[in-house]
Amino acid sequence: MEVVLIPGLGGDRRLFKNLQFKNCNYTVLEFTEPLKNESLTAYCKRIVHEISGNKEIVLIGVSLGGIIAQELSKLIDVKKIILISSIKSSNGKPWYYLIAKIFPFYRVIPDSLFKWLCAILSPLFGTKTKEDRLLYQQMLRSSTANFLKWGVKAVLNWEQQDTIPNTVLIHGNKDHIFPVRFVKPDHLIEGGQHFMIVQKPAEIMEIVNKILLQT
């Protein structure tokens, strides 16, 4: 079995630094820069070759990475999709995301200002401690404004009405990016915020390892 970890928007392999898998190998999907006006579907078609042809593939995606995992599963055979702090369909997006889709003001914000805005919004993601905020800032600096804006657009424009079979969602009840009242989680993490992949690794991995054992 090959487990592929897919970070969220502005994240990278450091997002998974606290995870401990039992009896399985894993790789982290490294994001490449999206092309100009590249759709999410086209982007996934371009990066899917980075995943091996192993039939026993499990995709684990965080936030935007969960959406990307679902799109990749339409291109290759996947045994299981595990979503963390993400959504199983576009119905999981809160209603006010539609306003941002109709009026995409983020597009005209200068790149340097956009990254600064992303930085000051860190409390919205649930970065509680100094260490959390430092990690968030470090990953953000490693990302580009082009990728961040593309990712925001990808989330806002993603359309999928039905849940893909063999998809499991682990979600926090204090998530402010995808509020739990709009999603239907299979496993709920008490006190979990959007950054819970870093903050509550033991609780999350207890669930993930059980799922992998049964897969």
Asked which of 62-66, 78-82, 125-129, 191-195 is least confident by mean pLDDT, the reply is: 125-129
- pLDDT in the model for residue 43: 98
Q: Alpha-carbon distance 92 to 174, whole Å?
A: 15
- pLDDT in the model for residue 133: 94
Residue carrying the six token digits 């995992």: 69
Beta strands in the chain (DSSP E): 2-6, 25-28, 57-62, 80-84, 167-172, 187-189
| Domains annotated on the chain, with CATH | 2-214 (3.40.50.1820)
Q: Provide the pLDDT confidence category of residue 45 given band limits of 50, 70 and 90.
A: very high
